[in-house]
Structure 1
Amino acid sequence: MTDRSYASAPGGHPPQTQLLTDRAVFTDAYAVIPHGVMRDIVTSALPFWDKTRLWVISRPLSGFAETFSQYIMEVAPGGGSDKPEPDELAQAVLFVTAGEISLSIAETTYTLAAGGYAYIPPATAWTLRSTGTEPARFHWVRKTYDKVEGLDTPPAFVSSDQQVDPIAMPGTDGKWATTRFVDPTDLRHDMHVNIVTLQPGATIPFAETHVMEHGLYVLEGKAVYRLNQDWVEVEAGDYMWLRAFCPQACYAGGPAPFRYLLYKDVNRHMKLGRP
Protein backbone atom coordinates (compact mmCIF):
# COMPACT_ATOMS: atom_id res chain seq x y z
CA MET A 1 0.00 0.00 0.00
CA THR A 2 1.26 3.46 -0.86
CA ASP A 3 1.89 6.08 1.78
CA ARG A 4 -1.28 7.84 2.79
CA SER A 5 -2.16 11.15 4.31
CA TYR A 6 -4.92 11.32 6.92
CA ALA A 7 -7.05 14.24 7.97
CA SER A 8 -6.58 15.81 11.41
CA ALA A 9 -8.43 18.47 13.39
CA PRO A 10 -7.39 21.89 12.04
CA GLY A 11 -7.30 23.77 15.35
CA GLY A 12 -6.67 27.50 15.12
CA HIS A 13 -9.49 30.01 15.08
CA PRO A 14 -11.55 31.21 12.09
CA PRO A 15 -11.50 34.89 11.10
CA GLN A 16 -14.28 37.28 12.04
CA THR A 17 -15.20 37.46 8.34
CA GLN A 18 -16.20 33.79 8.18
CA LEU A 19 -19.89 32.95 7.86
CA LEU A 20 -21.47 31.28 10.89
CA THR A 21 -23.28 28.67 8.81
CA ASP A 22 -21.64 25.24 8.88
CA ARG A 23 -22.62 21.59 8.48
CA ALA A 24 -22.66 20.75 12.19
CA VAL A 25 -25.88 19.04 13.29
CA PHE A 26 -27.04 17.07 16.33
CA THR A 27 -30.27 15.07 16.12
CA ASP A 28 -31.86 12.33 18.19
CA ALA A 29 -30.50 9.73 15.73
CA TYR A 30 -27.10 11.05 14.64
CA ALA A 31 -24.59 13.88 14.90
CA VAL A 32 -22.22 15.40 12.33
CA ILE A 33 -19.18 17.29 13.63
CA PRO A 34 -17.45 18.87 10.60
CA HIS A 35 -13.73 19.52 10.75
CA GLY A 36 -14.31 23.27 10.52
CA VAL A 37 -15.66 23.39 14.08
CA MET A 38 -12.75 21.47 15.62
CA ARG A 39 -10.96 24.63 16.75
CA ASP A 40 -8.72 25.62 19.65
CA ILE A 41 -11.63 26.89 21.74
CA VAL A 42 -13.22 23.41 21.99
CA THR A 43 -10.13 21.44 23.03
CA SER A 44 -9.78 19.66 26.38
CA ALA A 45 -6.92 18.50 28.60
CA LEU A 46 -6.45 15.29 30.59
CA PRO A 47 -4.82 14.49 33.94
CA PHE A 48 -1.28 13.11 33.70
CA TRP A 49 -0.86 14.07 30.02
CA ASP A 50 1.72 16.77 29.31
CA LYS A 51 2.06 18.93 26.18
CA THR A 52 -1.28 17.50 25.08
CA ARG A 53 -4.67 18.72 23.99
CA LEU A 54 -7.61 16.80 22.56
CA TRP A 55 -10.97 17.07 20.89
CA VAL A 56 -13.67 14.88 22.45
CA ILE A 57 -15.80 13.87 19.47
CA SER A 58 -17.99 11.27 21.20
CA ARG A 59 -18.86 10.33 24.76
CA PRO A 60 -21.61 8.24 26.36
CA LEU A 61 -24.86 10.21 26.55
CA SER A 62 -28.08 8.85 28.00
CA GLY A 63 -30.55 8.28 25.18
CA PHE A 64 -27.88 8.48 22.49
CA ALA A 65 -24.72 6.48 21.73
CA GLU A 66 -23.74 4.86 25.02
CA THR A 67 -20.93 2.35 24.57
CA PHE A 68 -17.78 4.35 23.78
CA SER A 69 -15.83 7.58 23.72
CA GLN A 70 -13.50 8.85 21.02
CA TYR A 71 -10.80 11.51 21.23
CA ILE A 72 -8.60 13.20 18.65
CA MET A 73 -5.32 13.57 20.52
CA GLU A 74 -2.61 16.13 19.69
CA VAL A 75 0.65 15.63 21.57
CA ALA A 76 3.57 18.03 21.09
CA PRO A 77 7.07 16.62 20.61
CA GLY A 78 8.31 15.14 23.89
CA GLY A 79 4.81 15.15 25.38
CA GLY A 80 2.69 12.21 26.39
CA SER A 81 1.81 10.27 29.50
CA ASP A 82 3.18 7.62 31.84
CA LYS A 83 -0.30 7.20 33.35
CA PRO A 84 -2.66 7.59 30.39
CA GLU A 85 -5.73 5.55 31.40
CA PRO A 86 -7.30 5.86 34.88
CA ASP A 87 -10.02 3.25 34.26
CA GLU A 88 -8.89 -0.37 34.68
CA LEU A 89 -11.97 -1.63 32.85
CA ALA A 90 -11.32 0.46 29.73
CA GLN A 91 -9.85 -1.03 26.58
CA ALA A 92 -8.46 1.15 23.82
CA VAL A 93 -7.68 1.43 20.15
CA LEU A 94 -5.14 4.03 18.98
CA PHE A 95 -4.89 5.06 15.32
CA VAL A 96 -2.15 7.51 14.31
CA THR A 97 -2.96 10.12 11.65
CA ALA A 98 0.21 12.27 11.81
CA GLY A 99 3.60 12.42 13.51
CA GLU A 100 5.22 9.59 15.44
CA ILE A 101 4.66 8.01 18.85
CA SER A 102 6.59 5.64 21.05
CA LEU A 103 4.05 3.30 22.65
CA SER A 104 5.04 0.95 25.47
CA ILE A 105 2.58 -1.83 26.32
CA ALA A 106 3.47 -4.18 29.18
CA GLU A 107 7.19 -3.30 28.85
CA THR A 108 7.32 -3.79 25.06
CA THR A 109 7.95 -0.59 23.08
CA TYR A 110 6.64 0.11 19.57
CA THR A 111 7.11 3.03 17.19
CA LEU A 112 3.95 4.05 15.35
CA ALA A 113 3.75 6.58 12.51
CA ALA A 114 0.79 7.66 10.36
CA GLY A 115 -1.43 4.63 9.78
CA GLY A 116 -0.20 2.90 12.95
CA TYR A 117 -2.82 0.97 14.93
CA ALA A 118 -2.74 -0.47 18.44
CA TYR A 119 -5.22 -2.42 20.54
CA ILE A 120 -4.76 -2.20 24.32
CA PRO A 121 -6.82 -4.51 26.56
CA PRO A 122 -8.19 -3.44 29.95
CA ALA A 123 -6.01 -3.48 33.06
CA THR A 124 -2.87 -3.15 30.92
CA ALA A 125 0.04 -0.85 31.75
CA TRP A 126 0.99 1.42 28.87
CA THR A 127 2.77 4.70 28.23
CA LEU A 128 3.00 6.99 25.23
CA ARG A 129 5.38 9.70 24.03
CA SER A 130 5.41 11.90 20.94
CA THR A 131 8.84 11.29 19.42
CA GLY A 132 8.76 13.12 16.08
CA THR A 133 9.63 16.69 15.21
CA GLU A 134 5.96 17.58 14.66
CA PRO A 135 3.00 17.01 16.98
CA ALA A 136 1.65 13.48 17.01
CA ARG A 137 -2.04 13.19 16.21
CA PHE A 138 -4.03 10.05 16.84
CA HIS A 139 -7.50 8.77 17.61
CA TRP A 140 -8.10 7.17 20.98
CA VAL A 141 -11.23 5.02 21.14
CA ARG A 142 -12.20 3.83 24.64
CA LYS A 143 -14.80 1.27 25.65
CA THR A 144 -15.50 -0.56 28.90
CA TYR A 145 -14.64 -4.20 28.20
CA ASP A 146 -17.65 -6.51 28.46
CA LYS A 147 -16.12 -9.61 30.06
CA VAL A 148 -17.75 -12.98 29.33
CA GLU A 149 -17.11 -15.97 31.59
CA GLY A 150 -15.25 -18.62 29.60
CA LEU A 151 -13.71 -16.16 27.11
CA ASP A 152 -10.21 -14.79 27.63
CA THR A 153 -9.51 -11.08 27.36
CA PRO A 154 -7.92 -10.42 23.95
CA PRO A 155 -4.18 -9.66 23.95
CA ALA A 156 -2.60 -6.36 23.00
CA PHE A 157 -1.34 -6.03 19.44
CA VAL A 158 0.12 -3.42 17.11
CA SER A 159 -0.50 -3.21 13.37
CA SER A 160 -0.96 -0.55 10.67
CA ASP A 161 -3.14 0.45 7.76
CA GLN A 162 -0.21 -0.37 5.48
CA GLN A 163 0.14 -3.93 6.81
CA VAL A 164 -3.46 -5.11 6.42
CA ASP A 165 -5.00 -5.84 3.04
CA PRO A 166 -8.58 -4.59 2.67
CA ILE A 167 -11.25 -7.27 2.21
CA ALA A 168 -13.70 -6.53 -0.60
CA MET A 169 -17.42 -6.74 0.08
CA PRO A 170 -19.01 -9.50 -2.04
CA GLY A 171 -20.19 -8.44 -5.46
CA THR A 172 -18.47 -5.05 -5.46
CA ASP A 173 -15.34 -5.79 -7.55
CA GLY A 174 -13.29 -4.25 -4.74
CA LYS A 175 -15.06 -0.90 -4.93
CA TRP A 176 -16.21 -1.27 -1.31
CA ALA A 177 -13.70 -2.85 1.06
CA THR A 178 -12.91 -3.05 4.76
CA THR A 179 -9.51 -3.11 6.47
CA ARG A 180 -10.16 -5.41 9.44
CA PHE A 181 -7.61 -5.34 12.24
CA VAL A 182 -9.47 -8.02 14.23
CA ASP A 183 -10.85 -11.33 12.99
CA PRO A 184 -14.67 -10.93 13.06
CA THR A 185 -15.00 -14.51 14.37
CA ASP A 186 -12.83 -13.76 17.44
CA LEU A 187 -15.55 -13.37 20.07
CA ARG A 188 -13.07 -12.20 22.69
CA HIS A 189 -13.39 -8.77 21.10
CA ASP A 190 -16.49 -6.71 21.92
CA MET A 191 -15.64 -3.80 19.62
CA HIS A 192 -14.16 -3.41 16.16
CA VAL A 193 -12.33 -0.35 14.87
CA ASN A 194 -11.83 -0.82 11.13
CA ILE A 195 -11.18 1.30 8.05
CA VAL A 196 -13.81 1.33 5.29
CA THR A 197 -12.78 2.33 1.75
CA LEU A 198 -15.16 3.20 -1.08
CA GLN A 199 -13.74 3.96 -4.50
CA PRO A 200 -15.15 6.95 -6.42
CA GLY A 201 -18.71 6.19 -7.46
CA ALA A 202 -19.06 3.23 -5.09
CA THR A 203 -22.06 2.98 -2.80
CA ILE A 204 -23.42 1.35 0.29
CA PRO A 205 -26.52 0.50 -1.71
CA PHE A 206 -29.07 -0.02 1.06
CA ALA A 207 -30.04 1.68 4.29
CA GLU A 208 -28.18 -0.34 6.91
CA THR A 209 -30.32 -0.49 10.05
CA HIS A 210 -28.68 -2.37 12.91
CA VAL A 211 -28.03 -2.48 16.63
CA MET A 212 -24.36 -1.47 16.48
CA GLU A 213 -23.47 2.11 17.40
CA HIS A 214 -21.04 3.84 15.09
CA GLY A 215 -18.37 6.50 15.16
CA LEU A 216 -17.15 7.36 11.63
CA TYR A 217 -14.16 9.66 11.20
CA VAL A 218 -13.43 10.57 7.57
CA LEU A 219 -9.74 9.99 6.93
CA GLU A 220 -9.71 10.80 3.20
CA GLY A 221 -12.00 11.90 0.40
CA LYS A 222 -15.62 12.99 0.39
CA ALA A 223 -19.08 11.47 0.06
CA VAL A 224 -22.79 11.97 0.51
CA TYR A 225 -24.00 10.00 3.51
CA ARG A 226 -27.58 8.98 4.25
CA LEU A 227 -28.28 9.38 7.99
CA ASN A 228 -31.82 8.52 9.10
CA GLN A 229 -33.96 10.50 6.60
CA ASP A 230 -31.26 13.02 5.64
CA TRP A 231 -28.49 13.15 3.05
CA VAL A 232 -25.43 15.03 4.34
CA GLU A 233 -22.16 15.90 2.61
CA VAL A 234 -19.01 14.86 4.46
CA GLU A 235 -15.31 15.19 3.69
CA ALA A 236 -11.90 14.44 5.19
CA GLY A 237 -11.73 15.50 8.84
CA ASP A 238 -15.49 15.26 9.49
CA TYR A 239 -16.98 12.96 12.12
CA MET A 240 -20.34 11.17 12.26
CA TRP A 241 -21.83 9.67 15.38
CA LEU A 242 -24.75 7.23 14.94
CA ARG A 243 -26.93 5.71 17.61
CA ALA A 244 -28.25 2.16 17.28
CA PHE A 245 -30.73 1.52 14.45
CA CYS A 246 -30.05 4.83 12.66
CA PRO A 247 -30.51 4.01 8.93
CA GLN A 248 -27.34 4.69 6.96
CA ALA A 249 -26.10 4.49 3.39
CA CYS A 250 -23.40 6.18 1.34
CA TYR A 251 -22.37 7.38 -2.11
CA ALA A 252 -18.64 8.11 -2.61
CA GLY A 253 -18.25 11.24 -4.70
CA GLY A 254 -14.61 11.08 -5.75
CA PRO A 255 -12.27 12.04 -7.29
CA ALA A 256 -10.21 10.22 -4.62
CA PRO A 257 -11.21 7.17 -2.54
CA PHE A 258 -13.47 7.83 0.44
CA ARG A 259 -12.03 6.27 3.62
CA TYR A 260 -13.20 6.40 7.22
CA LEU A 261 -12.24 4.97 10.60
CA LEU A 262 -15.26 3.03 11.88
CA TYR A 263 -16.13 2.04 15.45
CA LYS A 264 -18.85 -0.47 16.25
CA ASP A 265 -19.79 -2.57 19.28
CA VAL A 266 -20.11 -6.31 18.54
CA ASN A 267 -20.33 -9.89 19.85
CA ARG A 268 -22.30 -9.41 23.07
CA HIS A 269 -25.81 -10.03 24.37
CA MET A 270 -28.00 -6.99 24.84
CA LYS A 271 -28.21 -5.84 28.44
CA LEU A 272 -31.73 -6.45 29.78
CA GLY A 273 -33.52 -4.16 32.18
CA ARG A 274 -34.46 -5.42 35.61
CA PRO A 275 -37.39 -4.28 37.78
Structure 2
Amino acid sequence: MTKRSYAIPPGGLPPQSDRPAGPTGGARFTEAYALIPRATMRDIVTSALPYWDDARAWIIARPMTGFAETFAQYIVELSPGGGSEWPEPDPEAEGAIFMVDGAMTLSIGDEDYVMEPGSFAYLPPGADYSLHNHAGPEARFHWIRKAYEPVEGLPPPDFFLSHDDDVDPVEMPETDGRWATTRFVDPEDLRHDMHVTIVTIQPGAVIPFAETHVMEHGLYVLEGRGVYYLNGDWVEVEAGDFMWLRAFCPQCCYAAGDGPFRYLLYKDVNRHPRLRIR
Protein backbone atom coordinates (compact mmCIF):
# COMPACT_ATOMS: atom_id res chain seq x y z
CA MET A 1 0.00 0.00 0.00
CA THR A 2 1.35 3.43 -0.95
CA LYS A 3 2.33 5.64 1.98
CA ARG A 4 0.49 8.88 1.37
CA SER A 5 -0.06 12.05 3.35
CA TYR A 6 -3.21 14.09 2.79
CA ALA A 7 -3.58 17.73 3.76
CA ILE A 8 -5.71 18.63 6.78
CA PRO A 9 -6.88 21.98 8.21
CA PRO A 10 -4.39 23.62 10.58
CA GLY A 11 -6.99 24.60 13.20
CA GLY A 12 -5.81 26.82 16.04
CA LEU A 13 -5.26 30.51 15.38
CA PRO A 14 -2.38 32.28 13.60
CA PRO A 15 -0.05 34.39 15.77
CA GLN A 16 -0.67 38.11 16.24
CA SER A 17 2.51 38.75 14.24
CA ASP A 18 0.70 37.52 11.10
CA ARG A 19 -1.18 39.95 8.89
CA PRO A 20 -4.11 39.27 6.55
CA ALA A 21 -3.18 38.49 2.96
CA GLY A 22 -3.39 41.40 0.54
CA PRO A 23 -5.47 41.66 -2.64
CA THR A 24 -3.21 39.26 -4.57
CA GLY A 25 -3.39 36.42 -2.04
CA GLY A 26 -5.64 34.78 0.49
CA ALA A 27 -9.33 33.95 0.34
CA ARG A 28 -11.44 35.02 -2.65
CA PHE A 29 -15.17 34.98 -3.38
CA THR A 30 -16.19 35.94 -6.91
CA GLU A 31 -19.21 35.51 -9.15
CA ALA A 32 -17.66 32.38 -10.71
CA TYR A 33 -15.45 30.78 -8.07
CA ALA A 34 -14.36 30.86 -4.45
CA LEU A 35 -10.96 30.09 -2.93
CA ILE A 36 -10.72 29.05 0.71
CA PRO A 37 -7.02 28.73 1.60
CA ARG A 38 -5.85 26.23 4.18
CA ALA A 39 -4.62 29.09 6.37
CA THR A 40 -8.19 30.29 6.91
CA MET A 41 -9.49 26.93 8.21
CA ARG A 42 -9.12 27.80 11.88
CA ASP A 43 -10.94 26.90 15.07
CA ILE A 44 -13.22 29.94 14.99
CA VAL A 45 -14.87 28.95 11.68
CA THR A 46 -15.87 25.40 12.65
CA SER A 47 -19.45 24.28 13.20
CA ALA A 48 -20.97 21.87 15.68
CA LEU A 49 -23.52 19.44 14.23
CA PRO A 50 -26.75 18.05 15.76
CA TYR A 51 -26.49 14.43 16.93
CA TRP A 52 -22.70 14.43 16.62
CA ASP A 53 -20.55 14.04 19.77
CA ASP A 54 -17.02 15.39 20.17
CA ALA A 55 -17.00 16.53 16.55
CA ARG A 56 -16.56 19.73 14.61
CA ALA A 57 -16.76 20.55 10.92
CA TRP A 58 -15.31 23.02 8.48
CA ILE A 59 -18.21 23.52 6.07
CA ILE A 60 -16.44 24.59 2.89
CA ALA A 61 -19.32 24.40 0.39
CA ARG A 62 -23.11 24.67 0.61
CA PRO A 63 -25.91 25.31 -1.89
CA MET A 64 -26.44 29.04 -2.41
CA THR A 65 -28.82 30.96 -4.65
CA GLY A 66 -26.88 32.39 -7.58
CA PHE A 67 -23.75 30.37 -6.92
CA ALA A 68 -23.08 26.66 -6.30
CA GLU A 69 -26.30 24.70 -6.22
CA THR A 70 -25.85 20.95 -6.03
CA PHE A 71 -23.73 19.93 -3.04
CA ALA A 72 -22.32 20.56 0.41
CA GLN A 73 -18.81 19.61 1.49
CA TYR A 74 -17.42 19.34 5.00
CA ILE A 75 -14.11 18.46 6.59
CA VAL A 76 -15.14 16.68 9.79
CA GLU A 77 -12.86 16.18 12.77
CA LEU A 78 -13.77 13.53 15.35
CA SER A 79 -12.05 13.57 18.74
CA PRO A 80 -11.29 10.21 20.39
CA GLY A 81 -14.63 8.62 21.24
CA GLY A 82 -16.52 11.03 19.01
CA GLY A 83 -19.03 10.20 16.32
CA SER A 84 -22.68 9.97 15.46
CA GLU A 85 -25.42 7.34 15.41
CA TRP A 86 -27.44 9.57 13.06
CA PRO A 87 -25.00 11.38 10.77
CA GLU A 88 -27.35 12.21 7.87
CA PRO A 89 -30.57 14.11 8.70
CA ASP A 90 -31.95 14.12 5.14
CA PRO A 91 -33.36 10.77 3.93
CA GLU A 92 -33.09 11.93 0.30
CA ALA A 93 -29.39 12.78 0.55
CA GLU A 94 -26.54 10.63 -0.71
CA GLY A 95 -23.02 10.96 0.62
CA ALA A 96 -19.37 10.31 -0.08
CA ILE A 97 -16.67 10.06 2.56
CA PHE A 98 -12.93 10.32 1.91
CA MET A 99 -10.65 9.73 4.88
CA VAL A 100 -7.55 11.92 5.22
CA ASP A 101 -6.24 11.42 8.78
CA GLY A 102 -6.54 8.95 11.65
CA ALA A 103 -9.08 6.13 11.61
CA MET A 104 -12.78 5.64 12.27
CA THR A 105 -15.39 2.92 12.10
CA LEU A 106 -18.23 3.10 9.59
CA SER A 107 -21.10 0.82 10.62
CA ILE A 108 -23.84 0.02 8.11
CA GLY A 109 -26.32 -2.81 8.47
CA ASP A 110 -24.62 -5.53 10.52
CA GLU A 111 -21.13 -4.73 9.22
CA ASP A 112 -18.33 -2.57 10.65
CA TYR A 113 -15.64 -1.14 8.40
CA VAL A 114 -12.45 0.59 9.53
CA MET A 115 -11.65 3.62 7.40
CA GLU A 116 -8.06 4.88 7.26
CA PRO A 117 -6.37 7.60 5.17
CA GLY A 118 -7.25 7.01 1.51
CA SER A 119 -10.48 5.11 2.27
CA PHE A 120 -13.58 6.09 0.29
CA ALA A 121 -17.21 5.21 0.97
CA TYR A 122 -20.32 5.88 -1.09
CA LEU A 123 -23.51 6.14 0.98
CA PRO A 124 -26.79 5.88 -0.96
CA PRO A 125 -29.88 7.90 -0.04
CA GLY A 126 -31.65 6.49 2.98
CA ALA A 127 -28.61 4.53 4.19
CA ASP A 128 -28.72 3.68 7.90
CA TYR A 129 -25.15 4.10 9.09
CA SER A 130 -23.07 5.43 11.96
CA LEU A 131 -19.54 6.82 12.31
CA HIS A 132 -17.29 6.58 15.38
CA ASN A 133 -13.68 7.23 16.25
CA HIS A 134 -12.68 4.26 18.40
CA ALA A 135 -9.02 4.31 17.39
CA GLY A 136 -7.52 7.11 19.47
CA PRO A 137 -6.15 10.33 17.94
CA GLU A 138 -8.33 12.72 15.97
CA ALA A 139 -9.92 11.35 12.81
CA ARG A 140 -10.52 13.67 9.86
CA PHE A 141 -12.48 13.10 6.68
CA HIS A 142 -14.24 14.84 3.81
CA TRP A 143 -17.99 14.41 3.73
CA ILE A 144 -19.78 15.37 0.50
CA ARG A 145 -23.59 15.51 0.60
CA LYS A 146 -25.96 15.85 -2.34
CA ALA A 147 -29.73 15.61 -2.82
CA TYR A 148 -30.02 12.47 -4.94
CA GLU A 149 -31.85 12.92 -8.25
CA PRO A 150 -33.79 9.69 -8.94
CA VAL A 151 -34.56 8.52 -12.48
CA GLU A 152 -37.64 6.43 -13.23
CA GLY A 153 -36.61 2.86 -13.92
CA LEU A 154 -33.12 3.20 -12.39
CA PRO A 155 -32.58 2.04 -8.79
CA PRO A 156 -30.35 4.16 -6.54
CA PRO A 157 -26.69 3.11 -6.34
CA ASP A 158 -25.49 0.57 -3.80
CA PHE A 159 -23.22 1.25 -0.84
CA PHE A 160 -19.58 0.50 -1.56
CA LEU A 161 -16.10 1.00 -0.14
CA SER A 162 -12.86 1.67 -1.99
CA HIS A 163 -9.38 3.08 -1.42
CA ASP A 164 -7.03 5.45 -3.20
CA ASP A 165 -4.49 2.62 -3.58
CA ASP A 166 -7.03 0.12 -4.92
CA VAL A 167 -8.17 2.11 -7.97
CA ASP A 168 -5.88 2.27 -10.99
CA PRO A 169 -5.69 5.86 -12.24
CA VAL A 170 -7.04 6.38 -15.74
CA GLU A 171 -4.55 8.22 -17.93
CA MET A 172 -5.99 11.08 -19.93
CA PRO A 173 -5.45 10.52 -23.66
CA GLU A 174 -2.09 11.53 -25.16
CA THR A 175 -0.59 12.62 -21.82
CA ASP A 176 1.77 9.67 -21.12
CA GLY A 177 0.21 9.38 -17.67
CA ARG A 178 1.17 12.88 -16.61
CA TRP A 179 -2.52 13.73 -16.07
CA ALA A 180 -4.69 10.96 -14.62
CA THR A 181 -7.88 10.46 -12.62
CA THR A 182 -8.64 7.99 -9.84
CA ARG A 183 -12.32 7.23 -10.39
CA PHE A 184 -14.07 5.80 -7.35
CA VAL A 185 -17.41 5.66 -9.22
CA ASP A 186 -17.88 3.82 -12.52
CA PRO A 187 -18.49 6.60 -15.10
CA GLU A 188 -20.78 4.29 -17.07
CA ASP A 189 -23.12 3.67 -14.13
CA LEU A 190 -25.99 6.09 -14.75
CA ARG A 191 -27.49 5.39 -11.34
CA HIS A 192 -24.89 7.82 -10.01
CA ASP A 193 -25.58 11.55 -10.28
CA MET A 194 -22.25 12.66 -8.81
CA HIS A 195 -18.65 11.60 -9.24
CA VAL A 196 -15.88 11.98 -6.67
CA THR A 197 -12.40 11.43 -8.08
CA ILE A 198 -8.77 12.24 -7.38
CA VAL A 199 -6.98 14.11 -10.14
CA THR A 200 -3.19 13.68 -10.27
CA ILE A 201 -1.01 16.01 -12.33
CA GLN A 202 2.70 15.27 -12.40
CA PRO A 203 5.31 18.04 -12.00
CA GLY A 204 5.31 20.32 -15.03
CA ALA A 205 2.19 18.77 -16.55
CA VAL A 206 -0.84 20.82 -17.54
CA ILE A 207 -4.53 20.77 -18.27
CA PRO A 208 -3.91 22.47 -21.61
CA PHE A 209 -7.21 24.21 -22.29
CA ALA A 210 -9.77 26.21 -20.33
CA GLU A 211 -12.54 23.73 -19.60
CA THR A 212 -15.98 25.36 -19.59
CA HIS A 213 -18.83 23.00 -18.72
CA VAL A 214 -22.16 22.53 -16.99
CA MET A 215 -20.76 20.56 -14.03
CA GLU A 216 -19.94 22.51 -10.90
CA HIS A 217 -16.91 21.53 -8.86
CA GLY A 218 -15.46 21.30 -5.42
CA LEU A 219 -11.66 20.85 -5.51
CA TYR A 220 -9.66 20.20 -2.35
CA VAL A 221 -5.89 20.03 -2.81
CA LEU A 222 -4.69 16.87 -1.10
CA GLU A 223 -1.03 17.14 -2.02
CA GLY A 224 1.45 19.41 -3.82
CA ARG A 225 1.19 22.79 -5.47
CA GLY A 226 -0.41 24.13 -8.62
CA VAL A 227 -1.51 27.25 -10.46
CA TYR A 228 -5.16 27.40 -11.49
CA TYR A 229 -6.76 29.57 -14.15
CA LEU A 230 -10.23 30.54 -12.90
CA ASN A 231 -12.45 32.84 -14.97
CA GLY A 232 -9.59 35.10 -16.01
CA ASP A 233 -7.51 34.90 -12.81
CA TRP A 234 -4.37 32.85 -12.21
CA VAL A 235 -4.42 31.59 -8.62
CA GLU A 236 -1.65 29.73 -6.79
CA VAL A 237 -2.92 26.86 -4.66
CA GLU A 238 -1.29 24.27 -2.43
CA ALA A 239 -2.12 21.32 -0.19
CA GLY A 240 -5.09 22.13 2.05
CA ASP A 241 -6.65 24.81 -0.18
CA PHE A 242 -10.22 24.47 -1.45
CA MET A 243 -11.77 25.80 -4.65
CA TRP A 244 -15.49 26.02 -5.36
CA LEU A 245 -16.31 26.48 -9.07
CA ARG A 246 -19.67 27.51 -10.42
CA ALA A 247 -21.01 25.81 -13.54
CA PHE A 248 -19.33 27.14 -16.72
CA CYS A 249 -16.42 28.76 -14.82
CA PRO A 250 -13.44 28.57 -17.26
CA GLN A 251 -10.70 26.50 -15.65
CA CYS A 252 -7.32 24.91 -16.32
CA CYS A 253 -4.11 24.43 -14.36
CA TYR A 254 -0.52 23.27 -14.20
CA ALA A 255 1.49 21.52 -11.50
CA ALA A 256 3.99 23.91 -9.97
CA GLY A 257 5.87 21.92 -7.34
CA ASP A 258 8.48 19.18 -7.25
CA GLY A 259 5.94 16.43 -6.58
CA PRO A 260 2.51 15.42 -7.85
CA PHE A 261 -0.35 17.91 -7.64
CA ARG A 262 -3.38 15.92 -6.40
CA TYR A 263 -6.88 17.10 -5.59
CA LEU A 264 -10.19 15.59 -4.55
CA LEU A 265 -12.80 16.56 -7.15
CA TYR A 266 -16.60 16.62 -6.91
CA LYS A 267 -18.85 17.09 -9.92
CA ASP A 268 -22.54 16.58 -10.72
CA VAL A 269 -23.16 14.27 -13.69
CA ASN A 270 -25.58 12.06 -15.64
CA ARG A 271 -28.78 14.09 -15.32
CA HIS A 272 -30.78 16.46 -17.55
CA PRO A 273 -30.58 20.11 -16.44
CA ARG A 274 -33.61 21.21 -14.50
CA LEU A 275 -35.86 23.48 -16.58
CA ARG A 276 -37.88 24.87 -13.68
CA ILE A 277 -36.73 26.54 -10.48
CA ARG A 278 -38.06 24.58 -7.53
On whether the aligned pair clears a TM of 0.5, the verdict is yes
Q: Where does residue 17 of structure 2 map in the other structure?
A: 17
Q: Where does residue 251 of structure 2 map in the other structure?
A: 248
- Bigger shift: residues 19-28 or 5-14: 19-28
2:36 maps to 1:7? no
How far apart are 1:254 and its partner, in Å? 1.9
How far apart are 1:25 and its partner, in Å? 0.2
Q: Where does residue 81 of structure 2 map in the other structure?
A: 78
Q: Where does residue 48 of structure 1 map in the other structure?
A: 51
How far apart are 1:131 and its partner, in Å? 2.2
Please give the alpha-carbon distance, in whole angstroms, between the structure 2 residues aligned to 1:26 and 1:189: 30
SS of equivalent to 1:162: helix
Q: Where does residue 135 of structure 1 map in the other structure?
A: 138
Matches within 5 A, 1:127-206: 127-206=130-209
Please give the alpha-carbon distance, in whole angstroms, between the structure 2 residues aligned to 1:98 and 1:273: 41
Please give the alpha-carbon distance, in whole angstroms, between the structure 2 residues aligned to 1:132 and 1:169: 38
How far apart are 1:251 and its partner, in Å? 0.7
Q: Where does residue 213 of structure 2 map in the other structure?
A: 210
Q: Where does residue 267 of structure 1 map in the other structure?
A: 270
Please give the alpha-carbon distance, in whole angstroms, between the structure 1 residues aligned to 2:86 and 2:32: 35
Please give the alpha-carbon distance, in whole angstroms, between the structure 1 residues aligned to 2:165 and 2:158: 21
How far apart are 1:274 and its partner, in Å? 7.0
How far apart are 1:44 and its partner, in Å? 0.2
Q: TM-score, normalised by structure 1?
A: 0.98
Among candidates 93, 98, 106, match of residue 95 of structure 1: 98
AA partner of residue 200 (structure 2): T
AA partner of residue 262 (structure 1): L
How far apart are 1:165 and its partner, in Å? 1.0
How far apart are 1:77 and its partner, in Å? 1.1
AA partner of residue 113 (structure 2): Y
Q: Where does residue 31 of structure 1 map in the other structure?
A: 34
Please give the alpha-carbon distance, in whole angstroms, between the structure 2 residues aligned to 1:7 and 1:192: 21
AA partner of residue 9 (structure 2): A
Distance 1:139 1:274, change over 3 A: closer
Please give the alpha-carbon distance, in whole angstroms, between the structure 1 residues aligned to 2:107 and 2:277: 41
How far apart are 1:133 and its partner, in Å? 2.0
AA partner of residue 214 (structure 1): H
Please give the alpha-carbon distance, in whole angstroms, between the structure 2 residues aligned to 1:152 and 1:273: 24
AA partner of residue 59 (structure 1): R
Please give the alpha-carbon distance, in whole angstroms, between the structure 1 residues aligned to 2:8 and 2:173: 31
Among candidates 197, 203, 223, match of residue 226 of structure 2: 223
Runs of 4+ in 1 over 4 A off after TM superposition: none
Q: TM-score, normalised by structure 2?
A: 0.97
Distance 1:274 1:249, change over 3 A: closer
How far apart are 1:20 and its partner, in Å? 1.1
Please give the alpha-carbon distance, in whole angstroms, between the structure 1 residues aligned to 2:117 and 2:176: 28
How many residue pairs align between the two structures? 275
In structure 1, stretches of 5+ residues that fail to align are none
How far apart are 1:106 and its partner, in Å? 2.3
Please give the alpha-carbon distance, in whole angstroms, between the structure 2 residues aligned to 1:256 and 1:73: 27
Please give the alpha-carbon distance, in whole angstroms, between the structure 2 residues aligned to 1:253 and 1:212: 25
In structure 2, stretches of 5+ residues that fail to align are none
Please give the alpha-carbon distance, in whole angstroms, between the structure 1 residues aligned to 2:100 and 2:247: 27
Please give the alpha-carbon distance, in whole angstroms, between the structure 2 residues aligned to 1:132 and 1:237: 24
